[in-house]
Each structure stands twice: as C-alpha cells, then as structure tokens.
C-alpha cells in the first residue's frame, strides 16, 4: 500500500514533490574510489557526458560529488582544494544542461563554492554534524539540504531505528538554530552508512516510521552492500536488488530516490505508480 503524504511546497521552483512517484536523483561521482563507479567519470568531459545521459534517462536532480563517501571504508579523504579541482570542470557546466544540481559534500567551503556556481541543493552525508560551518552556509544561501544519518562504524548491538531518529533530531535542531527553514530539510536515513546489512534492511523495511518527522524523505540504496548480503553480486550487478528496494521505498513514502541506474528506476517507478492507480 502506498503511503499518502500531505502536499508540500516545491523544494525549488519547478521541483515539486509528487504524491505518487518519487523524484529520481541521478548520481555523478567525480571520484577515483567510489564503491560502485569510482574512476569512471573522473575526467570532466566524462562526468558531463554521464550527467547528460542521466538527464535523458529521466533524472529530476543531479547529485554531483568529488569525494568518496563509500559506506564500507577504504575511501581516501581529500582536501577542499582537491575536491574543488575535481568539481571545477563539471559543476559550472552542469548548470547549463538540465535539472537542478545537488552538491554532495561534507565541507562548507565546497558547498559555498558550488552554490555560487548555481547548485540548488546541498547533500551532507554527516547531517550538519561534521563541519561546524555547514549549517550557516546553507542558511545564508537559503537552499534545501539533505541531512543523512551516519556513524563512524556499524554496531550490530544498537537499536538502529532509534539511533537514526536521535541523529536526525539533532540535525533538525542544528538546522533550526542556524535559521534553515524547516521545509527546506530533507531527511536521509543513510542506508549502508554505519550500519550492518541487516540494519540497512531494517531501515528500509521501517522507512514509513520516519514520516513522523513531517519532512521529505530521501533514500539512497542503489547498489549498496546489503543487496550483496542477500543475493551475492558485485556493485554493477545489483540492479535488480536496487529496483526492488526503491519500489518498496516508494510505496513506504520516499519522496526522492538517489540512484545510479536512472532509466531502469524511472521505468520501475512509473509502472509501480500506474498499477497502484489502477487499483
């Protein structure tokens, strides 16, 4: 059964949350070490070609990042200078080719630069709880922010749902103190980040509980390791599991899904919505 959500203001002009089908955010990783497609789009021209491809496939938002935040470890932390060097050939050009751009970064300096270039959303995988200046930057620019739950490492012994709820509550408090409008905050439970595969499955299965916050929800489960734990496959062979998870997330009330495989996800969500409506 589809969870019906109340009507909300548009996140951005022309970008309205749908009642039946989530917005699809396409991933553009300008990194050498992202878990799924690291190194494939490190060159600026390759990243822009990927952005155009995702737009043609139906992406509503592009999420561009230049530092791997792979949830299983092994990523190389980079300086703000390196992150900006990777983004400079991509972000300004991406503004001219299609839908709103989200900047995927943990650094306030990088976020501010991208917003100056025209980025419309900030995607912070540490939910305003890593860089002390991030909340102020977002408040000053008046843009939407995606705050994601994260942990330094997984702990199978904790109540993961309570941990996510407590973390997101703190993020909302930080946002409010900084002057970020409540309706500008999108919550992401952080599938795969600081969670065991079983905990990631739990978060997806109980996604509707996060609706109690009254905020838009984003789910990023594309190609994540929990799929491999259920049906072993390398990241680029996890399309079926990704689609299954995203369809169930949509039915549970996800407003946005962040994916690598845009065309297939858009088709699956359209068919899901058509069948639901035919009932």
Residues designated as active site: 224, 258
Contact 137, 112 (CB under 8 A): yes
What residues have CB less than 8 Å from 6, skipping those under 6 apart? Answer: none
Instruction: Render 19-64 in DSSP notation, one character per residue.
Output: SSS-EEEEEEE--S--TTTTTTT-SHHHHHHHHHHHHHTT-SEEEE
Instruction: Kindly give the residue spans of alpha helices, DSSP state H, lying in the chain.
Output: 44-56, 80-87, 91-94, 108-117, 134-141, 160-178, 197-205, 225-230, 239-251, 262-278
How far, in Å, are 34, 55, 87, 161 from residue 201 at the CA level?
22, 29, 33, 11
Name beta bridge partners: 123. 104, 146
Q: Distance (Å, rounded) from C-alpha 105 to C-alpha 96?
A: 21
């Amino acid at each position: 059964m589809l969870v019906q959500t109340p009507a909300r203001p548009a996140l951005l002009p022309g970008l309205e949350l749908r009642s039946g089908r989530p917005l699809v955010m396409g991933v553009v990783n300008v990194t050498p070490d992202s878990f799924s497609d690291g190194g494939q789009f490190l060159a600026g021209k390759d990243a822009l070609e990927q952005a155009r491809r995702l737009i043609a496939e139906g992406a509503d938002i592009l999420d561009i990042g230049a530092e791997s935040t792979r949830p299983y470890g092994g990523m190389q932390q980079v300086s703000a200078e390196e992150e900006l060097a990777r983004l400079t050939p991509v972000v300004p050009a991406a503004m001219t080719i299609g839908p709103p751009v989200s900047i995927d970064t943990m650094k306030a300096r990088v976020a501010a630069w991208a917003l100056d270039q025209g980025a419309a959303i900030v995607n912070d995988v540490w939910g305003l709880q890593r860089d002390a200046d991030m909340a102020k930057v977002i408040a000053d620019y008046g843009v939407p922010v995606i705050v994601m739950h994260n942990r330094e490492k997984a702990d199978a012994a904790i109540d993961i749902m309570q941990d996510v709820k407590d973390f997101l509550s703190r993020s909302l408090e930080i946002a409010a103190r900084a002057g970020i409008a409540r309706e500008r905050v999108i919550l992401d439970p952080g599938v795969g980040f600081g969670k065991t595969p079983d905990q990631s499955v739990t978060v997806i299965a109980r996604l509707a509980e996060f609706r109690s916050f009254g905020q838009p929800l984003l789910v990023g489960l594309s190609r994540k390791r929990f799929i491999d734990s259920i049906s072993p496959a390398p990241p680029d062979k996890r399309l079926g599991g990704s689609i299954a998870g995203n369809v169930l997330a949509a039915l549970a009330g996800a407003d946005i899904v962040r994916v690598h495989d845009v065309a297939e996800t858009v088709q699956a969500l359209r068919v899901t919505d058509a069948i639901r409506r035919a009932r």
